[in-house]
Amino acid sequence: AGKRWDADGAADGIAPGAKLAVADIGNRNGDLLTPNDKTLLSTGRPQSQIHSASWGSEFNFYTSRARNFDQFMFENDEFLIIVAAGNSGSNDGAFDIPNTVGDPATAKNVIAVGAHNSWGHSSPSGNLGPSYIADFSSRGPTADNRMKPDIVAVGKSVLSAGADPNVVGECDPSKIPGANSRNGGLLSLQGTSMATPVVSGTAALIRQYFRDGYYPRGEKNSDDAYPNPSGALVKAVLMNGAQNLRGVDNGVHGVTDSKPYDNTQGFGRLSLQDSVYLAGQTNVQLEVWDRERIEDQDINTYNVTIDKSNGCEAEDLSVTLVWIEEGSSPGCQNCVLNDLDLSVSFRGQSYYPNGQKSPDRTNIVERVVINGVQGGENAIISVNAYNLAWKSQQYALVATGCFGGVANTLQGESVFDSDESLKRRQIIIISVCVSIGVLLIACVAYFFIRRRKAQSGGGISNDFNEGEFEESA
């Protein structure tokens, strides 16, 4: 949130008009001094509906704090908590370290955020582009084997306000600070703590999208205003539109493969263009069902029809189910209390969520993505209350695809689609290796020629030296 008041600033917030309620939980020594969880989460309430937490512990299990965060979201269904996953994915030459996502990001209902690389001026020299996950980004799963992180956003050298306590009125300097440096009123840092407010600001925009009546037509209309979308709905929209990342940038140690629904990128990178419908400005149209309720053993079904008649070009149908449930017992090994199952029937085939070939019994966010859908085709979405601890469960369901809207007319290629940083790095490595190889060959050839010349013109000298050595001996 926040922006330069007199012009567009170099570090304007994702949601520049949002209002902040801030809780200071640290001292000058860098120690965390958190109040009790309910007091902390009530900061700014009832006006504030999004809590952004760029802090955490190294505890990978379901703690009492994780339970309290889950319970607060359950009791305040419009509220959404977004938490940094942590920066322990690599350490002292070790990479891709599992089970490093820490509490309170281990909670069920929150969104745990990982970090990917930045681009342009903000990108540190030698880094790959934004399609690659930062090596430090903490990995899942949680101790009870739930997928974490949930989503990934830019967190490598992100520009932000850098208040100087000794200066009044500091603003953008004439020279914008480079990666991980400070200048004037700006500061560049890296970490999932920087990625988390990116997601939080985007969540605020999605909330405003519904409140201002942009849904479902993609244009602001007060008659369509939805004043109080649930936290589950905002979370579902974010998760549903997340896009694939290519791997982990481990620097000179290479790239580690990563795929959606693994414990490195979760559902993928944040992408607002693939999450909501703004006529002519985004890639998809959106269908939502908020605060739906289902009783144990029941099945709710929904129908969507692909419609490309007005120019929409999206090739995928994406469907996401999110439910917010009560907190579990600390230390739980099977922490999900109410198990809902998402499936989509399409072309006579059943599709299951999160890259699996059967129902997901572990996570409370489930997504199905079907590629290559055509206009006129129909999909049946099913939500099955497979096993509930309580009589019923509330949930949010979203679907994106072509549902009769227009195509994205914005010009230019995404920085993710045009990211050829790995190819450039490979070319540089090959060029360096070739140069070194040519140099070595030249050196070997030089010494070989010198030796041949010495042997052909200086053989007597060699014999004399040997004889001299024998005589002196």
Closest CA to 82 of 188, 193, 162, 240: 193
The percent of the chain in helix, strand and coil, each rounded to the nearest 5, is: 25, 25, 55
Mean predicted confidence (pLDDT) in 284-310: 98
Pairing of strands 339-346, 316-322: unpaired
Give the neighbor-by-neighbor strand order of the sheet with 378-387.
Answer: 299-305, 378-387, 339-346, 349-351
Asked which of 173-182, 185-194, 201-210, 413-422 is least confident by mean pLDDT, the reply is 413-422
Distance CA 52, CA 410 (A): 31
Q: In 16-164, at which residue ranges do the beta strands (DSSP E only) sit?
A: 50-53, 80-84, 111-116, 132-134, 151-154, 158-161
Give the model's confidence band at 25: pLDDT under 50 very low, under 70 low, under 90 confident, else very high: confident
Give me the pLDDT at residue 153, please: 97
Distance CA 200, CA 363 (A): 21
Distance CA 238, CA 287 (A): 13
301, with CB counted inside 10 A (0-12, 13-18, 19+), is exposed
Mean predicted confidence (pLDDT) in 60-69: 98
8 Å CB contact between 397 and 383: yes
The contacts of residue 29 (CB under 8 Å, 6+ apart) are none
Q: How far apart are the first and last CA of the chain?
A: 88
8 Å CB contact between 113 and 85: yes
Pairing of strands 247-249, 186-189: unpaired
Torsion of CA 449, 452, 454, 456, to 10 degrees: -140
pTM over 0.75: yes
